[in-house]
Structure 1
């Protein structure tokens, strides 16, 4: 008799428990919006289908190679640190070069960079390979005098000639500047950083908390997605710095590349992935905290004065975009 009474009761408890395990209608709706407006980060970068393990291995060695700077003090990793929990930046306003002089822009993260539509703040390089060629010969950064000098160092090294030959088995002369840049780009194409927000988009409704979900709603409500959309939450367009309210800067941005008056003060919209780890912020590195960056962008780009509560909510959401292996 007791068994007959308790069995339906226990089953009803089980059904209630299972129902409570699923996402609420509100969370489901938010997941749909996240998928539509943002979308999960792809598992592979464009161009990586042709990258061999030998090419990636060579690229990684070159990425950390200080012989690529004139006084052998600087590597790609010096300004774009990917070691340990490094988020592909040096966390400085602007970066010192091989001889101590600083550049005039904040070093953007190399993480997920191969998904961007162009490289550098002003888009002067079309892709990772073109980008990799620049800093080595830049007099302020790595300061090598010529491609010829770079290749001389590599050819005189005990390991590089053989490593280039393995990475480029069909090339009669594998040690070239073009191949150096191609190898670095291949390594950088491995720097993909899936986040908890991707897990949320892909169906795990528990991947981000209620507070973080509220932050995403605040992010949408404030209009942040007018610039920061797509699976990078940016990195796919140019925008004028000071679109609504002027932002004082002497940097003319895209104009320096195109020389078109209408391009003055336009910069590539940065990706917000790993943004909680990559301060200080903006092209000049003058904004120290993420809270201030959110407030300033709302004011200068959207004409809004966010409250402390709204700012806190958005910052809470932005924390979900960090690489899961680089957060504590």
Structure 2
């Protein structure tokens, strides 16, 4: 945790000097020094067949993967009607009515992150897919054999045979996870900001460009950069001013290392206006609150009303235009 922390702080300290050099550069050139367009294909998708992806999509919406047939992956990561892959709850509610511990992150672009979950306890999409099925606060199934029996009874064998044609007994937990991962690898968003980064200077408005400059000049790009504008490192929640929630210790609950206390994966800002509420605990109900709180806790600055408004205007360029 020390290396990314120091790297971020050094980045912040450099912004005054960097901004002096920006005066002669175009906003687009400056943006390209921090961001890059999303890839068209996720790493790991090279072997994903249409049969495997279709199986994964079917499983994503399958309620038989919950103890009482009441929930699917889509319940907490809603994709229906071009939704943003979230449930818009502060924290999710499980199949048995249990209250979750953290805000459900979007599944859009998730496979482009450095790790999965707010605490990074899963490194890949396939690893992540296994956790909710047996979590008593989520889907609450009790064994792999129960999962296999349910999917067999619902006629999934043909789908699994198509997705895994070389296997004699293809319905198993590992293949379920691989199929779900294959489908999620197709969830790459598309927005006007990428068009701008790709060379279309008119893809975003002047007010959106002004908001982008505020976003950069205030130091937000220290953590929110790259293709997904975040998702690539873990950062302490409350670097400068302590974050109020001291119950959830984040990555430390996985590693057992006190040095990891309150470290969480930096969220992606792609499609951010459509994924409220915000933060690992869902404490920020609005994007304005999230922007203000991030400025205070992470950067140690009080953003004024116009600055918050301007950053929000920039965020409009990140609205997802892709349909599944």
CA-to-aligned-CA distance 1:242-275 (integer Å, 9 cap, x gap): 0000001110000011001100000000000011
CA-to-aligned-CA distance 1:300-324 (integer Å, 9 cap, x gap): 0000000100111011101111112
Query: Which of 299, 304, 310 pairs up with 2:301?
Result: 304
Query: Which of 218, 230, 240 pairs up with 2:226?
Result: 230
Aligned to 2:189: 193
Aligned to 2:142: 145
Distance (Å, rounded) in 1 between the aligned partners of 2:126 and 2:198: 31
Is the CA contact (8 Å cut-off) linking 1:193 and 1:323 kept in structure 2? yes
User: How many angstroms does 1:26 deviate by?
Assistant: 8.7
Distance (Å, rounded) in 1 between the aligned partners of 2:304 and 2:210: 15
For residues 1-328 of structure 1, the aligned pairs below 5 Å read 29-158=26-155, 160-249=156-245, 250-325=247-322
**SS of corresponding position for 1:49:** coil
CA-to-aligned-CA distance 1:144-187 (integer Å, 9 cap, x gap): 011111111112222x0111011001112111100000000000
Give the TM-score taking structure 2 as reference length: 0.91
Aligned to 1:7: none
User: How many angstroms does 1:44 deviate by?
Assistant: 0.7
Distance (Å, rounded) in 2 between the aligned partners of 1:301 and 1:171: 50
Is the CA contact (8 Å cut-off) linking 1:27 and 1:205 kept in structure 2? no
RMSD: 1.4
Give the TM-score taking structure 1 as reference length: 0.90
Distance (Å, rounded) in 1 between the aligned partners of 2:70 and 2:23: 53
Aligned to 2:17: none
Distance (Å, rounded) in 2 between the aligned partners of 1:296 and 1:134: 30
CA-to-aligned-CA distance 1:38-87 (integer Å, 9 cap, x gap): 11111111111110000000000000000000000000000000111210
Distance (Å, rounded) in 1 between the aligned partners of 2:24 and 2:211: 13
Distance (Å, rounded) in 2 between the aligned partners of 1:89 and 1:48: 23
Distance (Å, rounded) in 1 between the aligned partners of 2:24 and 2:264: 34
Distance (Å, rounded) in 2 between the aligned partners of 1:286 and 1:76: 23
CA-to-aligned-CA distance 1:207-236 (integer Å, 9 cap, x gap): 100000000000001100011011111000
Q: 1:156 to 1:150 in 2, by over 3 A?
A: same
Aligned residue-pair number: 301
Any gaps of 5 or more consecutive residues in structure 2? 1-21
Aligned to 1:22: none
Distance (Å, rounded) in 2 between the aligned partners of 1:26 and 1:266: 35
Any gaps of 5 or more consecutive residues in structure 1? 1-24
**SS of corresponding position for 2:235:** strand
